């Protein structure tokens, strides 16, 4: 297919396709997703031998929103996808203290993008249904590791592995008992924003973690307060703040790490300052600590990231 019109409608420069380290806004990716789905009449981009016909995700959402709790909704979602796709089948397994969604592929190792897109649809919808992030303990893929897995770590979780015996995600099984927070009246608004609202980690803007994030964004990293001091600004105790963040699947340290990562990537991509200064601007006293953290975030060192970014302008 000629995708030049797709890129034009998505307002994407074709030269970006040649850049291994190119980053685009979620809104632009969402426009590309919708335009491709319209062109192919497939919301799964030809990754399955049957395909996910246009409008399938909307039907799946409407079926899931009337479920009693998250476990019930996930069973509906997985049954729907099994009825519409031929090559992928999800299975929810609940054990004592842990829940897993295993993605069966018929014994044929599929493309990483296929596995990842399937989980974006399932995990993204599940987060919206309960109106909170569902933190993942682990994510495994049967396929080999890509050259760059940073976007999978950012979207899903840091505990990522490849070449595994099965493709699956795991999370706290207590989350399965969460009641569905959305209703049939909120579905249309959700679908108008999809798939852009699925591409990033779910964030409830009225949540405690969002309030903390807004507070930190207004300050330089080396001025970020300790948790108890921040709690005072938010008119609560440190214990209450910790508990609320935990309930949202987040921690104060994780919030700070996420913001440091975003700042570092922005500075390395757009500024010519030395890596040591980027480390200082992101709140690291020692450059070596910054190097270790950045490699954990993106899979490569700061220098390698900058070199690759400039080699593919």
Question: What domains does the chain contain, in order, with CATH numbers?
Answer: 7-199 (no CATH), 208-311 (1.10.10.60)
Q: How confident is the model at residue 287 (pLDDT cuts 50, 70, 90)?
A: confident
- Region 67-74: mean pLDDT is 97
Residues 220-235 pLDDT 10s? 888 899 999 999 988 8
CA distance 12 to 29: 9
Task: Kindly report each contact of residues 220-228 with a partner whose C-beta sits within 8 Å and lies 24 or more positions away, as own/partner.
Answer: 220/281, 220/283, 221/256, 221/259, 221/260, 221/263, 221/281, 221/282, 221/283, 222/280, 222/283, 224/256, 224/283, 227/252
Residues 248-263 pLDDT 10s? 667 899 888 888 888 8
* pLDDT for the residue numbered 96: 86
More confident residue, 304 or 77: 77
* pLDDT for the residue numbered 58: 96
Asked whether the predicted pLDDT for residue 264 surpasses 60, the reply is yes
Asked whether the predicted pLDDT for residue 184 surpasses 80, the reply is yes
Residues 82-106 pLDDT 10s? 999 999 999 999 998 999 999 999 9
CA distance 171 to 11: 37
* pLDDT for the residue numbered 311: 46
* pLDDT for the residue numbered 91: 98
* Tokens (6 digits) for 144: 């080999």
Asked whether the predicted pLDDT for residue 75 surpasses 70, the reply is yes
Residues 152-171 pLDDT 10s? 877 888 788 999 999 999 99
Asked whether the predicted pLDDT for residue 294 surpasses 90, the reply is no
Asked whether the predicted pLDDT for residue 299 surpasses 90, the reply is no
pTM as predicted: 0.71
* Tokens (6 digits) for 51: 């395909």
């Amino acid at each position: 297919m000629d995708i030049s019109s797709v890129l034009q409608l998505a307002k994407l420069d074709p030269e970006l396709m040649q850049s291994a380290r190119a980053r685009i806004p979620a809104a632009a990716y969402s426009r590309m997703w919708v335009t491709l789905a319209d062109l192919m009449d497939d919301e799964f981009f030809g990754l399955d031998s049957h395909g996910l016909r246009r409008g399938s995700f909307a039907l799946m959402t409407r079926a899931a929103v009337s479920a009693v709790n998250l476990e019930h909704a996930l069973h509906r979602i997985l049954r729907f996808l099994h009825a519409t796709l031929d090559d992928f089948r999800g299975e929810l397994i609940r054990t004592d203290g842990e829940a897993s969604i295993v993605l069966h592929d018929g014994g044929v190792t599929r493309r990483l993008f296929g596995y990842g897109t399937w989980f974006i649809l399932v995990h993204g919808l599940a987060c919206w249904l309960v109106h909170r992030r569902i933190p993942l303990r682990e994510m495994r893929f049967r396929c080999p590791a890509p050259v760059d897995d940073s976007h999978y770590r950012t979207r899903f979780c840091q505990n990522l592995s490849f070449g595994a015996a099965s493709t699956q995600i795991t999370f706290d099984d207590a989350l399965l008992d969460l009641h569905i927070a959305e209703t049939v009246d909120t579905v249309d608004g959700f679908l108008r924003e999809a798939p852009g609202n699925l591409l990033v980690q779910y964030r409830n803007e009225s949540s405690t973690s969002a309030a903390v994030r807004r507070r930190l964004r207004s300050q330089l990293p080396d001025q970020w307060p300790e948790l108890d001091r921040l709690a005072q600004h938010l008119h609560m105790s440190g214990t209450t703040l910790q508990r609320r963040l935990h309930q949202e699947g987040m921690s104060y340290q994780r919030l700070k790490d996420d913001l440091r990562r975003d700042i570092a990537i922005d500075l390395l991509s757009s500024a010519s300052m030395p890596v040591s200064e980027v480390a200082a601007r992101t709140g690291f006293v020692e450059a070596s600590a910054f190097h270790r953290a950045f490699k954990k975030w993106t899979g490569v060192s700061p220098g390698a990231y900058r070199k690759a970014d400039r080699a593919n302008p």
